[in-house]
Amino acid sequence: MEYRELSVPGAWEITPKQFGDPRGVFLEWFKNGPFVEAVGHPLDLQQANMSVSAAGVLRGIHFADVPPGQAKYVTCPKGAVLDVVVDIRVGSPTFGRWDSVLLDDTDRRAIYLSEGLGHAFLSLEDDSTVVYLCSAGYNPTGEHGIHPLDPEVGIDWPTVGRDGTPLTYQLSDKDTAAPGLSEARDSGLLPNAAAVAEWLSDQKRR
């Protein structure tokens, strides 16, 4: 299992070792030891989610208030998605930067996003299944969004699916109505980098 920190600090790409034979494939998609070594603290698992999306479904950019925030460990056991992390921490040197990992049922990578980061993904195939290990449960009053097509963020979303078919983006009503990055910052919605760092430091001391 290999960890690679992305260009957005606090996010990692995880590539598992796969063991195949005529029966199929076995892999460990999460392992606490390598996780703690890379991240610096255990994953406090509080909730596990699953979503199934048609090709073109675009979910995010979602984030949660810090504290407590919501860290996510995400993989795609069926289909393919482009998974994106965005630095939305006000005061961060990389504020507004995004990075991405292709999650699919071939390489079976995962992505980990620590508290205070924005998360989104685009489904590249019908019935793409995404599973999330989350450090906090759903909190409707403490969870927010930024429009995934905000030109200020400028995510380079794919225009064709896994099979080369053109994609038509499908957003929820909530994501369609989400503010842009600057609007969210100016309205005080976004987490503060210093507060996030303090929270993460407290987590590591526990």
Q: Which of 134, 131, 150, 130 is nearest to 190 (CA)?
A: 150
The full length of the chain comes to 206
62 given a catalytic annotation: yes
Residue whose structure tokens are 């199929």: 24
| CB-CB neighbours of 140 under 10 Å | 5
Catalytic residue among 73, 112, 119, 132: 132
132 given a catalytic annotation: yes
Catalytic residue among 62, 119, 144, 147: 62
What beta strand segments (E) does the chain contain?
A: 2-5, 11-15, 18-21, 24-27, 47-53, 58-64, 72-78, 80-87, 98-104, 110-113, 117-123, 128-134, 143-145
> How far is Cα 37 from Cα 118, in angstroms, rounded to an integer?
23
Q: Is the N-terminal amide bond of 68 cis, ω within 30° of 0?
A: yes
What 3-state DSSP class applies to 135? coil
Q: What is the 3-state secondary structure (H, E, C) of 54-112?
A: CCCEEEEEEEECCCCCCCEEEEEEECEEEEEEEECCECCCCCCCEEEEEEECCCCCEEE
The residues assigned a catalytic role are 62, 132
